[in-house]
Amino acid sequence: MTSDPVDPLRPANAEDVIDRLVEWLSIPSISAEPAHRTEVADSAVWLRQRCLDAGFTSAEIWETDGHPAVFARWDGAGDEAPTVLVYGHHDVQPVDPLEAWAHPPFEPVIVDGECRARGAIDDKGQVLYHVEAVAATLAESRMLPVNLKLLVEGEEEIGSPHFEQLLVDHAAALDCDVIVVSDTGMISPDIPSTDVAMRGLVAATIELTTSSTDLHSGSFGGTVPNAARHLSRLLANLHDDQLRVAVDGFYDDVVPLDDGEQRSLDEQPFDETEFCAITGVAGLEGELGRSPLERIGSRPTAEIVGMSGGYVGEGIKTIVPSRATAKIAFRLVPDQDPTEVMRLVDAWVTKTVPPLVDVSITWHGGVAPVRSSTRGWAFEAVSATIASIWGAHPLLTRVGGSGPEETIARRLGAPMVFLGVGLPGDRIHAPNERMVMDQFWRGFHAARKLYGELADRWASR
């Protein structure tokens, strides 16, 4: 890697850092699978020890009713300095299909300047460059310019079910002046960006029942209601002919992009041919009048993520199905409220399905969207940091996915900024996940610089 132009950013102990990255990634901390519960705990133990070795004043494992979180702090900057809380997670996604991996997912390898392993970019790699930034800074000067807290949860990949209670239980310890999230990405290495919003999420299982049992299609077909047909009709009506979500009132609370975000969106490159090649689709579709980039991050969506009903085995079974089920996920944008969206969907389903069909709707949690300010001392600090390390001021983007960031911002009452180095091709949640090591080293130096930028702007605010 010595010929790479980013090599000057590699610290002198780069190989030691890589060894630690490989060691942590080797722990299969899959939070969704009970068989890996012990490994999630092992991952927390590993991170706690690394934080102590890096020079944090203290590091603790915080138990929950599910998987453990890690909390570390360094308090030596004094009362005049800001307190910065860095959020991340140490749990990872399942690895199926295993046969699609070029290398075993928990035997990390460095290939073509990439670290390939489950969790490399989401999110162990992005947590580790903060820890290593602290270690490097303390080794050089024994001081950080800020008081730093690190909160790394173990349940992000399963919806953070115990995270809000963790924030409540430890509210005093988590008090801070700014929150830094490093669980996101950038447009490309040459076009840096920072996220300013994340979508929320609610999901539902809808079950339609038309009779007490499946019925013979010859004796009863054409006379009794068919649950599969009614479900198909319901799902077909979920979007209108403009491919907008047809639920009454669904868009009422959607806040449009401000002028700055819209300009930034317009400047972002998008290659439809490349996008289709990456996703394996023949072409794109979606809400008419909106660009693909708008649809991905700044517009709400409703996706049918699963459906079943009747007989789906080999051959044919001539029945009128009595039950049919669909699963639908709604991505929400500011200022949509998950509870209100649930109410609107409940009302729409009840109105759409005829009275002779019984309806059961089960909601699966709710994550609110979050939006960060593009003004103020914290945003100025992260923007200046990215410009310094990547050589250009960041464009403003929105995360299409969802996480617990709204919960953190609401509970801690502090501004939130995003410093993520992931790239579109990092195969997050897919086989052969990677961390581009050039981005890792930039993240390492960006973290160090960000602490200083935050301290300077806090002092002059």
pLDDT in tens, 130-141: 999 999 999 999
Is 426 or 3 the better-scoring residue by pLDDT?
426
Residue 159 confidence class, pLDDT cut points 50, 70, 90? confident
Q: Where are the alpha helices (DSSP H) in 311-396?
A: 338-352, 377-390
Whether the per-residue pLDDT at 451 is higher than 90: the answer is yes
Q: Among residues 438, 452, 407, which one has the least CA distance to residue 186?
A: 438
Q: What are phi and psi of 444, to 5 degrees?
A: -60, -50
At which residue do the structure tokens 């900057």 appear? 77
Residue 7 confidence class, pLDDT cut points 50, 70, 90? low
Q: What order do you get walking across the sheet with 323-332 strand by strand? A: 301-309, 323-332, 200-209, 358-367
pLDDT of 3 reads 40
pLDDT of 402 reads 85
Supply the mean pLDDT for the chain.
Answer: 95
Residue 363 confidence class, pLDDT cut points 50, 70, 90? very high
Q: Which residues, at least 6 apart from 89, have a Cβ–Cβ distance to it below 8 Å?
A: 123, 127, 152, 153, 154, 155, 156, 157, 183
Return the number of other C-beta atoms located less than 10 Å from residue 161's C-beta.
15
pLDDT over 70 percentage in the chain: 98
What is the arithmetic mean of pLDDT over 236-242? 98
pTM greater than 0.85 (yes/no): yes
**Domains of the chain with bracketed CATH:** 7-198+369-459 (3.40.630.10), 200-254+300-364 (3.30.70.360)
> Which tens digits make up the pLDDT trace of 68-102?
999 999 999 999 999 999 999 999 999 999 999 99
Compute CA distances 415 → 176, 197, 389, 401, whole Å: 9, 12, 22, 20
Residue 249 confidence class, pLDDT cut points 50, 70, 90? very high
- Rounded distance between C-alpha atoms, residue 390 and residue 291, angstroms: 27
> Which tens digits make up the pLDDT trace of 222-236?
999 999 999 999 999
Q: Where are the alpha helices (DSSP H) in 323-376?
A: 338-352
Return the number of other C-beta atoms located less than 10 Å from residue 56's C-beta.
23
Whether the per-residue pLDDT at 4 is higher than 60: the answer is no
Residue 308 confidence class, pLDDT cut points 50, 70, 90? very high
What is the arithmetic mean of pLDDT over 394-412? 93
At which residue do the structure tokens 């950080």 appear? 144
